[in-house]
Amino acid sequence: MFVALPSRPRRQILWAVPLLFAALWLSYVLAALHAPAGRLASALDWGVLSGGLDSVADWQRALGDGRALRLFSALFLHADWLHLLGNLVFLLIFGVAAERVMGGWRLLLLFLLGGACANLAAVLAIPAPDRIIIGASGAVSALIGAYLALFPGARLGVVLPLGLFLQFVRVPAFLLIGLWALLQVGFAYAGPTFGAVAWPAHIAGFLFGIGYALLARAAIARRLRRERGY
């Protein structure tokens, strides 16, 4: 007589989000050890500059001298610790859940490609030339877009101040993320009034993340079935 025993699901080890977290943090610490002039030089050497990349000739030159790689290296530079902290918090909130579903390699690819596309959007959208574009905000926006596509019915915890008390409530993720996306569009149209932030990069990264998750949905489903033994 044979008895079917359900297989215990393997405990998944997350590595992509911790790796990105460490890389972003370490990059900032190493840059902060330099004097302000050195930090500016690093941003000029590894950040991406607005203007250009809008013609075949520009792309040929950028690929030839390696400047195109700045679309990726700029993701690991940040203006200050608040800029870094915001991106790290959003990386943990949305990246951990996304990695559990899509896997480490797919999430790493999303972060890098989404961030590069977001930086390219900022390069093309910012009218003033030679503005330095740095930070992982576009890549994190791609994670937010992928999270929305993967978990449309999820709820996010929010702490609301109610008089003298703080109330923890769960709000549908699509409402919070939808409001965030509308703010990005509004700020992008407002221009420099809302500070030196590459808002078009946030929008482009967000849309890239949605498209990436939808295209990878079938592969993600097959991966989950394999892990669960279906």
Cβ neighbourhood burial of 126 (10 Å; 0-12, 13-18, 19+): buried
pTM (global) more than 0.85: yes
Q: For all residues of the chain together, what is the average pLDDT?
A: 85
Question: What digits encode the pLDDT tens for the residues 208-224?
Answer: 999 999 999 888 888 87
Enter the DSSP assignment of 162: E
102 inside domain: yes
CA–CA separation, 74 and 120 (whole Å): 11
Query: Strand 132-133 to strand 48-49: parallel, antiparallel, or no bridges (unpaired)?
Result: antiparallel
16: Cβ–Cβ under 8 A, 6 or more apart, which residues? 95, 99, 104, 105, 107, 108, 111
What tokens does 182 get?
Answer: 């509308």
Pick from 75, 78, 67: nearest CA to 45:
67
The CATH code of the domain that includes 76 is 1.20.1540.10
217 inside domain: yes
106 inside domain: yes
Q: What is the pLDDT of residue 190?
A: 67
Question: What digits encode the pLDDT tens for the residues 118-166?
Answer: 999 999 988 888 888 999 999 999 999 999 999 988 887 666 566 556 6
Structural domains in the chain (count): 1
Say how many residues make up the chain: 230
Contact criterion met (CB below 8 Å) for 62 and 49: no
147 inside domain: yes
Computed on alpha carbons and rounded to an integer, the radius of gyration of the chain in Å comes to: 20
Question: Range of 83's domain?
Answer: 16-154+196-228
Enter the DSSP assignment of 47: S
Q: What is the pLDDT of residue 159?
A: 63
Low-confidence ranges of the chain (pLDDT < 70): 1-11, 157-169, 190-196, 228-230
2 inside domain: no
Q: What is the pLDDT of residue 158?
A: 65
203 inside domain: yes
73 inside domain: yes
1 inside domain: no
